[in-house]
Structure 1
Amino acid sequence: MVLLEASKLTLPTPSSLSSPHTTTTTSILFEPTTLSLAITHSNSSISLFPSFSPLSLSSSLQFPQTLIPKPSSSSTFLILQQSPISTNPNSVIFLVSGPHRAGSQILLRFYLLNRTTNCFSRVNRISCGSQSESGFLRFEPELGVLMDAKHGVSVKVVGSVNYFAVYSVSSFKVWVFAVKMVEDEDGGGLRLMKCAVVRCSRPVCSLSISFGFLVLGEENGVRVFGLRRLVKGKMVVRRVGNSNSNSKLGLKQLQNGDHHGKYKGVGDRGGKTRGGGDEATCNGGLEGKNEKHGVAVKQTIVKYKHDNKDGGACFLALKGNEVETKSMPKVSKSVKAISIKALSQRMFLILDSHGDLHLLCLYNSGLGVDITGHVKQLPRVMKVQSLAVHLDESTTSQTIWISDGCHSVHMFTMDTDNALNEADGNDGDEKKPMHFPVTQVLFSSEKIQDIISISANSILILGQGSLYAHAIS
């Protein structure tokens, strides 16, 4: 492979920044289907560039078509998939989270890409379903969607196809939401549905929602939920009123391991069961509707601890680094899963806080079937600081980029089918490492802050003040 083309792009300075000399860019996001680029600035404002073609641009980016004002804490792209019979292309949403009322609430702002005008505009109509009646979700046209949950010091949002997840460090909860387009005589908008709530007893370092899995990166491992089972819920039927009344569908409470019987205080503004615990019900994309036979559909609530495997979830441990001390021959050092990237429907690549890479292989994901799998540590090429993956579902060969956070970026490819077979065959055999040789190395004159893959053979490198685009063949 040889480097065919490279360009340096000077980043824009939004007028909201008081001094252009103090302008910095903290992170970048890229949406490959629409070639949309999001640049987060040092004052937490965000510049959006639709139809971004870095290798065909001049030496500088023009002022962004859309500038999202501060404050923002996290952002993600979200794809809204149309029905199979629809001739319309999928819709692309840019979602931004931020604090509201001194962090006592979470503000979600939605921006829709208009493919006709090729520009992002804020969504002015969002229906929050029956959850607005309880006050947890409320749409304010001048602001966005307000969540009645503490923003605190940090909030993370991750998006996928039709679903996104929000994690609040202060609230110790992960919320899973479904989004769909709504068309009506007034022009339509979005409908937001809360599908599941995961109450965490351990800190979450990273999130991924891909291929029907919700993966939480934690200390010393990752926790994997089957998204379909999490959204649909595990259902039990109980009668309300006399024998002729309608049945109400509820979720069987999941055991934490610290209590026996029903939970107390677990719910997210849910009702109470006769056993004294909070009532949690499933969603299935029909929030607040009464179907035939009187089935009321709400959201799933899950509470877990470190070793819980109930509810279609499993915890898979990372191999911790070992160091020798004077008092003990070997002591395991804890690691955190700080980045999770999907490689295929059954494989994820994990970067830990020590700079090592791990391959997560899953075995099954059916509704009502417990998820199983294992994690294989990859040989260390260098201490990795940044990880980027170009996911191409049409092929099993995936391009992976890793950076040391200094001045170099390494590229290698992985055949996911072969890697899965090799990982399965080597399960438990730590003496037989998996090898993925580096095929290309790029060097940057500036210290590297972030990397984003934009195609199988091209990458964006964020330096200290510039954006570099490289194409390889």
Structure 2
Amino acid sequence: MVVVQGSKVPLPNPSSLSSSPHPHTSILFEPSSLSLALTHTDASLSLYPSFSPLSLTPSQPHTQTLNIPSPSSSSTFLLLQQHPSAATAVIFLVSSPYRSRILLRFYRLCRRDHSSFERVTRVLCLHKDLCFHPGLGVLLDAKHGAAVRLAASVNYFTLYSLSSNKVWVFAVKDDDGSGNDCSNSNDDDDSGSASGSGGVRLMRRAVIDCARPVFSLSVAFGFLILGEENGVRVFGLRRLVKGKGGNKRFGNSKQLRNGGGVRGGGLEVVNCNGDLEGKMERRRVLAVKQINVKSKHDDRDGGSCFVMLKGNNVNTNSATEVSMSIKAISIQAVSQRMFLILDSHGDLHLLSLSNSGIGVDVTGNVRQLPRTMKVKSVAVLPDLSSMSQTIWISDGCHSVHMFTAMDIENALNETDGNDSNEKLLRLPVVRVLFSSEKIQDIISLSANSVLILGQGSLYAYAIS
């Protein structure tokens, strides 16, 4: 017998907001520390450490809340781990516009008597276009513009600025090697008077010049994936930041061979790695271990591949069909080699990646999944210890559908070699949940539980 447990999640009213709290617009969840971030309509944020929605009751609300004032343009959780046996530190990163530059604020999860997030007030910046101000945060000398996106994994995060047409890849390390230790601070606000927690070092590893807009970012399992128009571009993260052979030298611009994309422009590289040919410049290599790879990623690429998404055809009055462009607006990791792509038309695609050899180019292929509904949001919690991952999709109205990655693989295996596989592909839905409120966002808490953001309320569902 299947039992579905559902409950409304009580949350304290953020003290920095008015007595009538701003509705929530999106949610982020970090599973290793059970940390939750809520974004409000006024672009402020609320951070909840050690968040267990299924165990909270109205009489026992979560109290260790950090309120981050507006404006915030993007945010993400970043994990710091110096070596496999070391403790993992949790960093919450927020971007904001600040005059003509981009402001980055870092908050570390401190585990003392009670877990809480505290602002990091010591960031060592190792590049001239980065500047740290204790009362503000890190200022990146780049245009913020209308859109900035952040994505992070373990020890690395990426930032995309539409106005600057660039993607930056940063590495972050503990500056004092203290891991999760934090200095004593009773001030949870965003002022410059907080004593701050353990410092970090911020290093720029790569810069990508974008000839096309990027609509989504993903950093997971050693891959950097950019969601573009009509497809996704995949970089091997290790090769991008360290190079094929790990030898660092500075070279002139180099036109590279096609990396699997459509015909068009090429890749331009300066300060490139040892595996790329080019004339040597007599410049001194900085003591900081950095490799600045500037690349135009429109079509040809030596260290990445571009994978096309299938466009939708629209019938017109003419005898021909017009192909409509689609945008990859969300990228969710399912496993080490599988990613779900949500496009701007509400269709899902499965991206499967592979390496053609050690340290060489990445290859991939995409299959469009059957359309059971127009998807608005996708949630999946990758777990390498599990045989199959649970995937939740929502139509943005009142329903959430649940299925597994194994269902996808079985459906694809059944249609392999079949010319009419698009018509025969079937994806069974395991469970369907219905919400009384219109759904704005969903987050997977575990293999059998999901957090649903309605219109101002949070609901947690567990299936057993």
Q: Which bin holds the TM-score, normalised by the shorter protein?
A: 0.7 to 0.9
How many angstroms apart in 2 are the aligned matches of 1:311 and 1:174?
Answer: 17
Which has the larger displacement, 362-371 or 32-41? 362-371
- Structure 1 residue 430, shift from structure 2 partner: 4.3
Q: How many Å separate the matches in 1 of 2:284 and 2:317?
A: 51
Per-residue deviation, 1:472: 0.5
Q: Does 1:351 align with 2:342?
A: yes
Partner of 1:90: 88
Can you list the C-alpha shifts for 1:68-88, whole angstroms capped at 9, x where unaligned? 1211110000111231344xx
- Corresponding position of 1:224: 234
1:197 matches 2:246: no
Is 1:148 equivalent to 2:141 in the alignment?
Answer: yes
Count of aligned positions:
435
Do 1:127 and 1:190's aligned partners in 2 also have CA atoms closer than 8 Å?
yes
- Paired position in structure 1 for 2:111: 115
> Matches of 1:381 and 1:420 in 2, distance apart?
14
What's 2:446 paired with? 455
Instruction: Using the TM superposition, give the Cα deviation of residue 376 of structure 1 relative to its aligned residue in structure 2, in angstroms.
Output: 0.2
Counterpart CA distance in 1 for 2:46 and 2:267 is 50
Matched AA of 2:101: Q
Return the alpha-carbon distance in structure 2 between the equivalents of residues 155 and 72 of structure 1: 10
For residues 411 and 134 of structure 2, the distance between their equivalents in structure 1, rounded to whole angstroms, comes to 48
- Note closer, same or farther for the CA distance 1:236–1:64 as it changes in structure 2 (3 Å cut): closer
CA deviation after TM superposition for structure 1 residue 18, in Å: 3.7
Write the distance in 2 (CA, Å) between the matches of 1:393 and 1:124. 35
Give the superposition deviation at 1:312: 1.3
CA contact (8 A) 1:280 1:301 kept: no
Query: In structure 2, what residue type is equivalent to 1:219?
Result: E
Structure 2 counterpart of 1:307, one-letter code: D
Q: Within 5 A, what are the aligned runs for 1:240-255?
A: 249-250=249-250, 253-255=253-255
Instruction: Tell me the equivalent position of 2:299.
Output: 307
Q: 1:18/1:417 Cα in 2 relative to 1: closer, same or farther (>3 Å)?
A: closer
Q: Counterpart in 2 of 1:325?
A: 316
Deviation at 1:421, TM superposition (A): 7.3
The aligned counterpart of 1:243 is none
Deviation for aligned residue 1:346: 1.0
- Contact kept, 8 Å, 1:236 with 1:249, in 2: the verdict is no
Contact 2:268/2:294 (CA < 8 Å) preserved in 1?
no
Alpha-carbon distance, 1:9 to partner: 2.3
Distance in 2, Cα, partners of 1:235 & 1:123: 35
Cα deviation, residue 299, structure 1: 2.1
Using the TM superposition, give the Cα deviation of residue 371 of structure 1 relative to its aligned residue in structure 2, in angstroms: 1.3
Whether 1:392 aligns to 2:383 is: yes
Alignment check: 8 A CA contact 2:448 2:463 kept: yes
Matched-pair contact (CA < 8 Å) for 2:132–2:139: yes
Aligned-partner Cα distance in 2 for 1:125–1:324: 58
- Could you tell me which amino acid in structure 2 is paired with residue 122 of structure 1? R
Q: Secondary structure at the match of 1:301?
A: coil
Q: CA deviation at 1:114?
A: 1.1
The equivalent of 2:218 in structure 1 is: 208
- Is there any run of 5+ residues in structure 2 with no aligned partner, and where? 184-197, 257-262
Correspondence 1:375-386 to 2 at 5 A: 375-386=366-377
Alignment CA distance shift 1:79-1:251 (3 Å): farther
CA contact (8 A) 2:151 2:159 kept: yes
- Which runs of no fewer than 5 residues in structure 1 stay unpaired? 238-247, 282-286, 290-296
Structure 1 residue 6 displacement after superposition: 0.9
SS at match of 2:389: strand
Is 1:66 equivalent to 2:66 in the alignment? Answer: yes
